Chains A and B, each alone.
Chain A
Amino acid sequence: MKENDFYVGYLPKAPRSMSKWLKAVIAGLLLLPGFVALMVAGNQHRFAATNFEYGQLTELTGVVSLEPVPRLIVEAGRDQRGGVITKSVLLVNFGKSGVETIFRNLEKELGRPLTNFEFNLRGTLIYGEGKTVFELTDQEASVLGHKILDKAYVPVKTVALGEQSFEGEIIDPKCYFGVMKPGFGKVHRSCAIRCIAGGISPVMATKNENGEKQFILLLADKGKTKWPLISRLAGKPITIKGELKQVDDWLVLHYDDQLLYEAASFPIIPNESDKLAREPKLLAGPNALDANIVLCN
């Protein structure tokens, strides 16, 4: 170091002999971030081409069914013979929670099973990969109105497909089909756990024999809670076995949750936050029970 090379920060100027060097250092300190940002940003995996129409409210009309999971059945078109083609739009609440309580309460208020009504709902559309999810952004206030139907709705199609086993990942459909990117995998895992524990129906994302993406609603058969500890298994590769059914346009897998937890590689024990998860309450009153029986066939 030359005599006058000594840098004293509080002096107004750095020594002259250093200014060239300092300029080079400054240039380096501006190039380095640019370079690293380019590498890291460019290295991100592709995101799904799904959508969340955040801030944009849409009105949908259809029948609400809580079986197998809360969904709005809307008319998606007509087939060649003029028959109605329906689409099940999964219903989710604002935030990381489900809508079951909203509709159970509404059903109590109306005094008849929900499937006797057509509802007008306002919320935010989430869609991608051929599936649609509807967020009741204003929660209870998202139910704008209802109209009584001549005939209660019954699933168009309920086909038993036998015992089957699937390999894939348990996802929460709200995030996966558009709200978050990525809405699956390890970085998203804790969020999927929160969403499912909060009452959003778990879905298995898997592939069929042709390697095409396939989504299956998961339903615990033996558990006391409907969205129980399966949330803990979200966001990681897993194999799950159960009775497969087709209900309208969704596949549903009824799995034995006791077996599933016993087979897990780590103890699945309920904790405080699981206790908070909403437990489905069976409806009081004969009408309601009838409806449950009919729809669960």
Chain B
Amino acid sequence: MGHQYSAVLWNRQKKIYDLVLLAGVIVYLLVFIVVSQFLRPEITEETLIIRATGSLALLMLHIILAIGPLSRLNNRFLPLLYNRRHLGVSMFVIAAVHGVFSILQFHSLGNANPLVSVFSSNLQYNSLQEFPFQTLGFFALIIFFMMAATSHDFWLANLGPKFWKTMHMLVYVAYGLIIMHVMLGIVQSEPSVLLVTLLGAGFLLIAGLHLLAGFRESKSDVEKSPNQRGYILIGQVSEIPENAAVTVVTNGEKVAIFKYDGKVSAVSNVCKHQNGPLGEGKIIDGCITCPWHGYQYLPHDGCSPPPFTEKVATYDIILEGEKVYLNPKPYPEGTEGKPAIIKSTLNQDI
């Protein structure tokens, strides 16, 4: 996988992803500018920039938030997830242009520090209608900045996946802040059924997709309890797709059970990169390959092939005839477990 790592940094898929991203941004800005100039020729350049970038950033935020549940609901959306980080960083840059232009336009060259002015000019924090909406955008921008600044895997490794994931959950807080930023800002100023409808539809879409994906998962995530011997019945060998997995939840942990090369192995379902669902991955070149960004693990010991050092927990599998059982006691991460050999396949092979 050595050469593949460098390929992960910059490769054809990623280039296509970024090109589509760039094209989308250009389409948005162009249409916004042309329509504004044509229908509202009196608009100033500053207002044009502020509005085009603010609304574009919000659209991108919706796409970013939709990709997660979409790809959990349907694998075919995984290509959108693969380079979501670039989408996120681009969104931050565009939101920052909006924020900086707004601060320059509305707060600079006055008798107060522009950053102080964002908070101190309108002081009606006690009124919903008059609320200083810009402050909400400001905090959201800080969140996006933290996420963009720590988006690189370097930070993921240094901050630890738990902390990193928690911090990235702040995106939902930022989303809420932005909705209020728009509702208490432009919607107060220029009441509009269309804007409220667009915002509402966006919110329903994001909330609906998350609920649906969560519901699906919770249905498939029913805890299975062990039998008297302490094993969990997974099902028939034939129910596990070749070079892919089924999953089961036990003791609150999700386990992926893979069938490959006439063997059955079980590993923790949680990818060490960004907690991607290994059970939705595939065996490629003998390795479990994460569906999200392609991190790989050997199925028998849960170790990433050298030079990589990621390790996931492994489990014992017991085969009784056609029946597959899991011993729910995990081995420490990266411990070699004994894969169960499928006899019928062996017989066929001989």
Contacts and interface: CB of A to CB of B under 8 A. Distances in A.
Interface string B8-27: 10011110000010011101
B190 A45 contact: yes
B132 interface: yes
Nearest to A195: B110
A76 interface: no
Interface stretch (B114-122, B163-171, B299-307): B114-122
A266 B126 contact: yes
Interface residues of B, number: 82
Contact of B42 (A8, A41, A49, A236): A49
B79 A7 contact: yes
A104 B184 CA distance: 41
14 contacts: A3-B242, A6-B281, A9-B11, A9-B14, A34-B31, A37-B52, A37-B55, A38-B31, A43-B194, A181-B42, A186-B130, A186-B188, A191-B107, A191-B121
Nearest to A33: B28
Contacts of A41: 31-33, 35-36, 39-40, 51-52
Interface in A1-53: 1, 3, 5-14, 18, 21-22, 25-26, 29-30, 32-34, 36-50, 52
B211 interface: no
Interface residues of A, number: 69
A39 B165 CA distance: 35
Contacts, number: 221
Interface of A: 1, 3, 5-14, 18, 21-22, 25-26, 29-30, 32-34, 36-50, 52, 94-97, 180-182, 185-191, 193-195, 197-199, 232, 235-236, 265-266, 271-273, 276-278
A188 B32 CA distance: 21
Contacts of B243: 3
Given A38-B31, A44-B190, A190-B106, A273 B111 contact: yes
B127 A266 contact: yes
B123 interface: yes
A25 B44 contact: no
Given A33-B28, A48-B42, A194 B117 contact: yes
B36 A273 contact: no
Most buried by A among B7, B24, B110: B110
Contact of B132 (A190, A276, A277): A190
Given A44-B190, A189-B122, A36 B35 contact: no
Given A33-B56, A47-B40, A7 B112 contact: no
Nearest to A277: B111
B117 A40 contact: no
A277 B186 CA distance: 28
Nearest to B112: A273
B173 interface: no
Contacts of A21: 76
B275 to A, nearest CB: 17
Q: Which of A14, A97, A186 has the most CB of B within 10 A?
A: A186
Contacts of A182: 47, 189
